[in-house]
Amino acid sequence: MASLMIRRTRLVPIGPAASPPQHPVDVLVESGIVTTVASYLDPRPGVEEYDADGRWCAPGLWDQHVHFTQWTLASQRLDLAPARSPEQVLAVVAERLAARPGVPVIGWGHRPGGWDRDVTVSELDAVTGETPVVLIAGDAHNAWLNTTALLHLGMPVRDSVVRENEWFAAYPRLVTLAGSDGTSPAAFRRTLDAAAARGIVGMVDFEFGARGQEWAERWSQGCDVLRIRWAAYADTLDEVLEAGLHTGDPLPGCDERITIGPLKIISDGSLNTRTAWCCEPYADAHRLEHPAGQPNLSGQELRDLLARAHAGGLEVATHAIGDAAVAEALAAYATTGAHGSIEHAQVVGRDDVHRMAELGIRASVQPAHLLDDRDITELVWPDRAERCFAFRWMCEDGVELALGSDAPVSPLDPWLAIAAAVHRSDDEREPWHGEQALTPAEALAASVDGQPTVGVGSPGDLVLLDADPLAPHADSAAAGAALRSMRVALTAVGGRVVHDAL
Ligand SMILES: [Zn+2]
């Protein structure tokens, strides 16, 4: 842990009761902790000084939901996000294969949820021939594989996409197909540096199939930049419990910046794959095997996992997107006494939010998804759109909100999340259910891992911002645009500068 002094900075108030000094102050961080805040401080021998020149100082930002390896890989994958139809995807793939014949293709980011037909493996085979091709949908809950790739990954041949648990199980084997290029320590380091440049000081890593050991190795290879909470899945739960590790403990072999996070459970599917488990059928239920989606595990299985994690001193992060899944997860928290979060909570009942507040369960939400899911929601959940991304209800009830990106589902950029929560539109259209929007102050407070205004005793996890994030604007569009393009001048973790553009 390091020391530094920031001169002439204005403290951003976090929380409704905060009233930091209006004038610029000097902030001293010693051994990783803020020890003094004053109008002027004498220089300290050996402590590096940074002149903020009036810039705004806030607690460092957290991304509470990241798939770190996938985000690192996504930047190197064939980008399918612009494709608007199966035909467009096939054209992009054909172009890539013509440019690099015989080289396996991992594509990422198409949104089949809005297409008017289901895709087939045969049409993909017709374009790809024998070269393995895996096209991962932008919600990560299904993938369109050609026959060669299905065989290579040991999955039964079929003429449709691979969904949910079958896909999650196959995912870690992708490296056997595409090689592990793109997951070198240098590639991970670039991801961490880019996050630091957006003001991120920490993230919760929900990578599928990852082991804590992988982070420990990376840590010693120059990837000890930010704070990391490493989440275990059910398949590594035994290992974690046997080692006697609790949420908050340092990862073995590392320092206190990287800790054991929660147990992650994926209790239902997603909106785009029509597998999120809802109380009411989807509008296009006639196309679906399960008209209202379905749970990925039974209520008993869910409660057993929560109970085991809780008894072993682990928090739980339960992925629940549909309202039925949210209600079931809350019931499981209530029965077992487990602590933690609902991840996503994309569509909720009003009572579910009351219950979440009562139980002290955190809502870990990804506002940027509302930009991507706006149109598909109006298509398949038109009857419940006003209950989607219900951040205002959560705030009203006192539910602890924690913003994240779910990168690579949306980019690892906290300012995109904050702007989306505030404006709820990223085009010329009016805010989508603007009554559920957050104020900039609320969105920022939900992005700093519960830290108050920077003061004595704060961790030395700080950002310096070129503009006041809480500056008044004419409307939410202007506020959103300013937040979206926020420039971060400096980021420090435990007093150590990890991004310096002062
Ligand atoms: Zn996720």
Strand partners, 63: 203
Ligand 1 geometric centre to CA of 284 (Å): 25
CA distance 20 to 23: 9
Q: What's the pTM?
A: 0.87
Ligand 1 geometric centre to CA of 58 (Å): 27
Average pLDDT score, the chain: 95
What 3-state DSSP class applies to 106? strand
Q: Are strands 25-30 and 4-11 parallel, antiparallel or unpaired?
A: antiparallel
Ligand 1 geometric centre to CA of 102 (Å): 31
Ligand 1 geometric centre to CA of 316 (Å): 14
Ligand 1 geometric centre to CA of 319 (Å): 8
Ligand 1 geometric centre to CA of 68 (Å): 10
Ligand 1 geometric centre to CA of 293 (Å): 18
101 CB neighbour count, 10 Å cutoff: 9
Q: Judge contact between 280 and 377, C-beta under 8 A.
A: no
Ligand 1 geometric centre to CA of 444 (Å): 21
- Per residue in 257-293, pLDDT (tens digit) is 999 999 999 999 999 899 999 999 999 999 899 999 9
CA distance 124 to 47: 60
- Per residue in 424-450, pLDDT (tens digit) is 999 999 999 999 999 999 999 999 999
The residue behind tokens 């590392």 is 254
Asked whether the predicted pLDDT for residue 204 surpasses 80, the reply is yes
Rounded average pLDDT over 348-374:
97
Torsion of CA 343, 136, 113, 409, to 10 degrees: 40
Ligand 1 geometric centre to CA of 343 (Å): 8
Ligand 1 geometric centre to CA of 65 (Å): 6
Ligand 1 geometric centre to CA of 448 (Å): 19
What 3-state DSSP class applies to 403? strand
CA distance 306 to 340: 10
CA distance 131 to 124: 11
Ligand 1 geometric centre to CA of 322 (Å): 14
CATH number belonging to domain 62-69+185-450: 3.20.20.140
Q: How confident is the model at residue 50 (pLDDT cuts 50, 70, 90)?
A: very high
CA distance 287 to 20: 56
Longest dimension (CA), the chain: 72
Phi, psi of 127 (to 5 degrees): -90, -35
- 445 closest CA partner among 16, 66, 37: 16
Asked whether the predicted pLDDT for residue 180 surpasses 70, the reply is no
CA distance 74 to 76: 5
pLDDT value at position 102? 86
Q: Judge contact between 247 and 315, C-beta under 8 A.
A: yes
Ligand 1 geometric centre to CA of 358 (Å): 25
Ligand 1 geometric centre to CA of 35 (Å): 37
CA distance 247 to 440: 30
The encoded tokens of residue 23 equal: 């004038």
Ligand 1 geometric centre to CA of 406 (Å): 5
Ligand 1 geometric centre to CA of 367 (Å): 13
CA distance 118 to 142: 12
What are the residue ranges spanned by the domains of the chain? Answer: 1-60+452-502, 62-69+185-450, 77-178
What are the angstrom distances between the C-alpha of 73 and each of 77, 89, 175, 335?
6, 19, 11, 39
CA distance 370 to 424: 7
Q: How confident is the model at residue 181 (pLDDT cuts 50, 70, 90)?
A: low
**Around 195, how many Cα atoms within 13 Å sit in the side-chain half-sphere?**
33
- Which top CATH class is 77-178? alpha beta
Question: What share of the chain has pLDDT > 90, as a percent?
Answer: 87
Ligand 1 geometric centre to CA of 266 (Å): 9
The encoded tokens of residue 447 equal: 């992005």
Q: Which residues of 427-443 are buried (b: 16+ CB within 10 A; e: fewer)?
A: eeeebbbeebbbebbbb
The residue behind tokens 């992060």 is 317
Q: Are strands 56-59 and 4-11 parallel, antiparallel or unpaired?
A: parallel
Q: Which residues contact 16 (CB under 8 A, 6 or more apart)?
A: 441
- Per residue in 2-43, pLDDT (tens digit) is 999 999 999 999 998 888 998 999 999 999 999 999 999 999
The residue behind tokens 């924690």 is 402
Ligand 1 geometric centre to CA of 22 (Å): 39
The fold of the 1-60+452-502 domain, in CATH, is Urease, subunit C; domain 1 (2.30.40)
Phi, psi of 472 (to 5 degrees): -70, 145
Ligand 1 geometric centre to CA of 18 (Å): 33
Q: Where are the beta strands (DSSP E) in 206-339?
A: 227-233, 258-266, 316-320
- Per residue in 68-88, pLDDT (tens digit) is 998 988 877 898 989 999 999
Asked whether this chain's domains 1-60+452-502 and 77-178 adopt the same fold, the reply is no
What are the angstrom distances between the C-alpha of 502 and each of 52, 113, 463, 490, 494?
7, 43, 11, 6, 18
